[in-house]
């Protein structure tokens, strides 16, 4: 059995003072602080890549949205899962085509677009 946790009186007072001072140091965020969440205009020009992942006996369908001119701007979302790999692959293709602006799949990502600095 673990012993009871106790704070002595001076340390307890310091903790209370720290908690009280949070009221004065904490600032309310501005509305523009979360604009990056709403700035999803780039998703309209993104290439969509479907990905199947075996997890706990079922095939998860993940869609990766990557901007075709700046591929380091991407967003990955888990859509659904299926128990059959054939059905999961078929559904992943359908969902990719539905999510893509260019349903023919002509938007491509290439390694030349990735500007890696190996320093």
Whole domain around residue 96: which residue ranges? 42-103
In a domain, 5, yes or no: no
Please tell me the distance from the alpha carbon of residue 71 to that of residue 113, in angstroms, as a whole number. Answer: 7
DSSP reduced 3-state for 22 = helix
The per-residue pLDDT for range 54-101, each reduced to its tens digit, is: 988 899 999 888 877 776 778 888 888 899 999 999 999 888 888 877
- The residue among 19 and 10 whose pLDDT is bigger is 10
In a domain, 24, yes or no: no
In a domain, 83, yes or no: yes
In a domain, 1, yes or no: no
In a domain, 58, yes or no: yes
In a domain, 116, yes or no: no
Least confident range of 2-11, 21-30, 105-114: 105-114
Distances (CA, A) of 8 to 16, 17, 22, 100, 114: 12, 14, 22, 62, 57
Would you state the structure tokens that stand for residue 82, as one six-digit string?
A: 């299926």
How many domains are contained in the chain? 1
pLDDT of residue 90: 93
Q: Which of 55, 45, 47, 103 is nearest to 80 (CA)?
A: 55
Whether the full predicted model's pTM is greater than 0.75, yes or no, is no
In a domain, 98, yes or no: yes
In a domain, 109, yes or no: no
């Amino acid at each position: 059995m673990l012993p009871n946790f106790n704070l002595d009186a001076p340390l307890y007072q310091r903790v209370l003072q720290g908690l009280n001072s949070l009221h004065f140091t904490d600032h309310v965020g501005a509305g523009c602080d979360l604009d990056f969440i709403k700035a999803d205009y780039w998703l309209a020009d993104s290439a969509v890549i479907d990905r199947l992942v075996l997890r706990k006996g079922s095939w998860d369908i993940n869609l990766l949205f990557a901007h075709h001119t700046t591929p380091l701007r991407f967003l990955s979302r888990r859509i659904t899962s299926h128990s059959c790999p054939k059905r999961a692959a078929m559904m992943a293709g359908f969902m990719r085509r539905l999510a893509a602006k260019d349903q023919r799949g002509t938007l491509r990502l290439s390694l030349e677009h990735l500007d890696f600095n190996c320093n």
